[in-house]
A and B are shown apart, each in its own frame.
Chain A
Amino acid sequence: MSEANLPPFSRLRERAWVAYLVAAMLASAGYFALPKGAIGQAAVFLAIELISIGAIVAGVSWWRPAKPAFWYLLGAGQLIYLAGNATWYLYPVGLHGVLPYPSVADALFITSYLVSGVALALLIRSRSTGAQGRADLIDTAIIGLGLASVSWTFLIAPALNGSPLGLAGQLTSVAYPLLDITLLSLAIRLGVTPGARMTSHWLVLLWIAGQFAADSAFAATTLSGAFSYGDLTFAGWLLSFVFIGSAALHPSMRDLTQPSPARPELAGRVRLLLLAGAALIPVALILLDISRGKPEHHFVLASIAGVLIVLVSLRLSGLMVDIAEHHRVQLELEQEIAVRQAAEARLQQQTETLQRSNAELEQFAYIASHDLQEPLRMVASYTGLLKRRYAGKLDAEADEFIDYAMDGVTRMRDLINDLLTYSRVGREERPAECVDSRVALDRALANLEAAIADRQALVAIGNLPTVMASSLQLTQVFQNLIGNGLKFCLETRPEIRIDAERRGRDWVFSIKDNGIGIDPQYRDRIFLIFQRLHKRDEYEGTGIGLAICKKIVERQGGRIWVDSEPGKGATFRFTLRAMDALAAAA
């Protein structure tokens, strides 16, 4: 839908995410203007969070995504998170109470992280198309484990080490960083899925980044005892609320859950560098610990390093397989190309041979028909003279013999003439010119005048165009086709209709008759030279006429064919390029 077609309200919706983003940013700035650690800050914080949930609800109802499950789960997670925050923030700040550790708030937080994690997993699944899935999963695990080793060294281990907390407290302390790492890993996984990189997608990633940054800062400040309500850590959480609300309001959220075609990404240089870096983190941390003289994390870090080595090996083997596959496909392609080139060369050779033999055949036909004229004329003339001088003067048998000889001479003359005409097409050709096809047709009809009168044929003529052709040859084509129409129509009075219609860049001429028709199985054969479908005493002819038509039409770049059924007449059609089409091409 283009913007101009949208009703004003919809256009407002398109922009609502910007308004929300700006307003929520300003409100976040306002948070820090308020007295630090006061109830007012808590109220603003929770209000911004509540509004972000409202934005998710509004976004889902406005844009109606095809797969809304992600957004529902996300909203639910945020709602639980809000409940956690309300407890965690209002109880100490508003009521000046002291929260135990772990408290209800921690249970709510952990639940919300789990729900959000499931939501992200769902989103990743709906965006993935499978092909690149395994490699992406391994990459995510490598980076997640690398980050986990950092988390272990700086957050988890210090919290556990000599902790006064009970088991529940210790588990809670471990759960937070682990859940954060899980969310971050899912975010990375989401980042490398092949789906479309849309605004909503980036905003979801920013939400997780903000959350992770704030959670890490919180963990660190809590450990060092520097944490206080309203400090800079809260900026990270506030930003994460703003981002997730904007992600839901942006119009592109509708298509966030849509998979898109996999991009061919075997292993980019940046990705490989990141993976190598992540895999080296535990080793670096072990070295750091040794240098600090605190070797207590080695078991865990070494285990992580071991797992990482396995993962990297898996990834490498995958790459090797990919490369081998790539290589195999390339080899196959090369072989295929070689085979095709060979076939092409063979075809080229055959074409040349065919062209040569065609040229030789035409040369032969020309020379034969040309040189046969002379002896033919002798035979014809003297047989004619014999008949003229001696018909009725010898006996009856002699007259019969002379008639047979005359008959043979006549047929031979027709054959040689047609053959000569056929071989002359293209040999003694004048350049194509602008021809009024009606003029060419009239000339053909004049040549056929005797036959038309003899058969009392009805000839109907439609509107005929001007085309690019050789005028004499066009006449020849009309003459042969109409002549056929007259010839193959012994039972009834011939009715022949000549017409033309425009089809794209061509004019399609049609010559329709009411004759005996042609069995469709002979549709192609009739256009071959010397092909006859009838015995000579049924219909006379040399079997060259249609071959001449075909040769003429095809030399002009056209096509000729016949539509017919036995007993239902035939319609011969041929195409010639229209004048305006030629002008346009020039």
Chain B
Amino acid sequence: MNPVGERVEILLVEDNPGDVRLTREAMKEAKVRNQLHVVSDGVEAIAFLRRQGTYANAVRPHLILMDLNLPRKDGREVLAEIKQDTDLRRIPVVILTTSEAEVDILKAYDLHANCYIAKPVDIEQFLTVVKSIEDFWITIVKLPSR
């Protein structure tokens, strides 16, 4: 269990504002107090995690939610970079994408994604999925302390 009252920091890497807003709405309904940080491409994601440039004061997230298809730097490249970094690789990465293609799933796990979730079309299901992510990765799972 994470310390009660500590705000959970979540990094969302997503280029579609609609999806960003949806995730935000879903998180609003969450039990746990959380802060959603959003970047819209792979280059920004790496900069955020490494606290480079404008992200010099960025917080280290507890959890990363990331789409696969991103502008500039692809989600797969970002995933590979995170998992090769001895420090960053401890942050769980949840791939949240539209693709249900077998190749994408295999590739993501090969790159050590912590889990792979296809975005449901239905809003109720989407809310359930986000709630489940929160339940599992934030409430149930024991993460290393930062």
Contact = CB atoms under 8 A, between A and B. Distances in A.
Contacts of B22: 381-382, 385
Interface in A357-413: 373-374, 376-378, 380-385, 387-388, 413
A385 B102 contact: no
Nearest to B123: A384
A428 interface: yes
B123 A381 contact: yes
Nearest to A424: B101
Given A428-B101, A428-B102, A380 B121 contact: yes
Interface in B97-146: 98, 101-102, 119, 121-124, 126
A374 B98 CA distance: 7
Contacts of A382: 18, 22, 123
Interface residues of A, number: 15
Contacts of A377: 98, 119, 121
A130 B123 CA distance: 89
Contacts of A385: 22, 25, 123
Nearest to A378: B18
Contacts of B124: 384, 388
Given A374-B16, A378-B18, A381-B22, A388 B123 contact: yes
A237 B53 CA distance: 130
A220 B16 CA distance: 123
Interface residues of B, number: 14
Contacts of A413: 121
A380 B123 contact: yes
B128 to A, nearest CB: 12
B122 A384 contact: yes
A381 B25 CA distance: 11
Contacts of B101: 428
Most chain B CB inside 10 Å of its own CB: which residue of A373, A387, A428: A373
Contacts of B25: 385
A387 B101 CA distance: 30
A380 B18 CA distance: 11
A31 to B, nearest CB: 101
A384 B127 CA distance: 11
Nearest to A409: B121
Contacts of B18: 378, 381-382
Contacts of A378: 16, 18-19
Contacts of A381: 18, 22, 121-123, 126
Contacts of B16: 374, 378
A377 B23 CA distance: 13
Contacts of A387: 123
A60 B119 CA distance: 97
Contacts of A373: 98, 121
Most chain B CB inside 10 Å of its own CB: which residue of A373, A377, A380, A383: A377
A385 B122 CA distance: 9
A380 B122 contact: yes
A328 to B, nearest CB: 64
A380 B126 CA distance: 11
A388 B122 CA distance: 12
A383 B22 CA distance: 12
Contacts of B119: 377
B80 to A, nearest CB: 24
Nearest to B127: A388
A376 B102 contact: no
A381 B102 CA distance: 24
A147 B98 CA distance: 102
Contacts of A428: 101-102
A413 B121 CA distance: 8
Nearest to B21: A382
A428 B124 CA distance: 29
Interface string B17-36: 01100100100000000000
A164 to B, nearest CB: 119
A298 B101 CA distance: 105
Contacts of B121: 373, 376-377, 380-381, 413
Nearest to A383: B123
A385 B130 CA distance: 14
A374 B67 CA distance: 12
A380 B121 CA distance: 6
A40 B63 CA distance: 134
B138 to A, nearest CB: 22
Contacts of A388: 123-124
Interface string A245-272: 0000000000000000000000000000
A540 B105 CA distance: 32
Contacts of B102: 428
A387 B123 CA distance: 10
Most chain B CB inside 10 Å of its own CB: which residue of A373, A381, A383: A381
A112 B102 CA distance: 99
Most chain A CB inside 10 Å of its own CB: which residue of B102, B119, B121, B126: B121
Nearest to A375: B18
A382 B121 CA distance: 10
A387 B124 CA distance: 11
A387 B119 CA distance: 19
A177 to B, nearest CB: 100
A378 B95 CA distance: 18
A373 B122 CA distance: 12
Contacts of B123: 380-385, 387-388
A380 B122 CA distance: 6
A376 B124 CA distance: 15
A413 B126 CA distance: 15
A382 B123 CA distance: 7
Contacts of A376: 121
Interface string A453-487: 00000000000000000000000000000000000
Given A376-B121, A381-B121, A428-B102, 16 more contacts: A374-B16, A377-B119, A377-B121, A378-B18, A378-B19, A380-B121, A381-B18, A381-B122, A381-B126, A382-B18, A382-B22, A384-B126, A385-B25, A387-B123, A388-B123, A428-B101
- Which 5 residue pairs are nearest across A and B when measured between Cβ atoms? A384-B123, A378-B18, A381-B123, A380-B121, A377-B121
8 contacts: A373-B121, A377-B119, A381-B121, A382-B123, A384-B123, A385-B25, A413-B121, A428-B101
